[in-house]
Amino acid sequence: MLVIETINLSRIFINKKTKKRIEALKNVSLQIQGGQIFGILGRNGAGKTTLIRILTTLLLPTSGSAYVLGYNVENEYYKIRPYINLVSGGENPGYGVLNIKENLFFFSQLYGIPRKLAKEKINKYIKEFGLEERAYNLVNTLSTGEKQRMQLIRGLLNDPEILFLDEPTVGLDVESSRFIRQFIKKWIEETGKSIILTTHYLAEAEELCNLIAIIDSGRILALDTPSRLKAMGSKEILYEIETTPLSLEFLKNIRGVSIIQDKYLDGKVSFKISLENESLISNVINKISELGSNIIYLRKKETSLEDAFINIVGRSIEDD
């Protein structure tokens, strides 16, 4: 089932001071099937949040169309909102003078959930999210990780068909990030519903997403599975090798082999080589043996999602 469709979706902002037009989204066309985690991967400022805000009916497009569960975000937003929810990273999760339970109950009533059912859901999720001992603590006393767990509970209270997660692990410690990733995978497996995830964490996108759209400067530059995107990375054949003492001069005499880097430390030699074709690695191994050195380890460097991102976008995801 198609849960989201955008057709030439664009959004332009006007800088009030300079009057300069900022194209946050440029002719974005997507078709997203349900029952999966769909990732939108891009650098800060690439257009991820603008796209999410339009799909969650918080922002109107400048041109083009967007449909969520078959409804138009511009004039059928009231039909969309009961079936979606949005959790953003780094946001204030509620009112600091209320405790976790009070905040969650307040939001449940905004969503129109019957009081008894709301309390049952809140108790269930508080236990599942490991917040039982903190349930009566004021929100402004919680850690960042605890606040984000509460945010995620709030996003689940209305049983959304589509859960939008905008940078859900930004600024979190390793343990909290791992918990949220594990819960996301479990929720999808158990419910068969849909998650739209924006992130600039490559490892997070690769671990969680069935499909990833790479966005930069408001345009979708690539859309595929993580494994197929990685295949778009560097075409170089790279090997990392460590040996006992050895002069690397011999590599200059093997046509099609280039040294990328080398390091001599504690009687060992570590080096990385690039090959024009895979068969050349046997020549390198044989020559090392002939020279009386032993191979400590040899590893082919596989193409990463970062390699693919750089190849597609032209710069690292961390570049300013």
pTM for the complete prediction?
Answer: 0.83
Specify whether the CB–CB gap between 25 and 50 falls below 8 A.
Answer: yes
Alpha helix (H) residue ranges in the chain: 48-55, 77-80, 100-110, 115-128, 144-156, 174-191, 202-208, 226-230, 280-290, 305-313
Q: Say if residue 228's pLDDT is above 80.
A: yes
What domains can you pick out in the chain, each with its CATH number? 2-93+142-230 (3.40.50.300), 237-302 (3.30.70.260)
pLDDT, one tens digit per residue, over 70-95 is 999 999 999 999 999 999 988 877 88
β-bridge partners, 237: 275
Q: Specify which residues 223 forms β-bridges with.
A: 213
254-285 pLDDT per residue, tens: 999 988 888 888 889 999 988 988 899 999 99
pLDDT tier for residue 303 given thresholds of 50, 70 and 90: confident
Residue pLDDT, tens place only, 26-84:
999 999 999 999 999 999 889 999 999 999 999 999 999 999 999 999 999 999 999 99
Task: Look at residue 293 in the predicted model and tell me its pLDDT.
Answer: 92
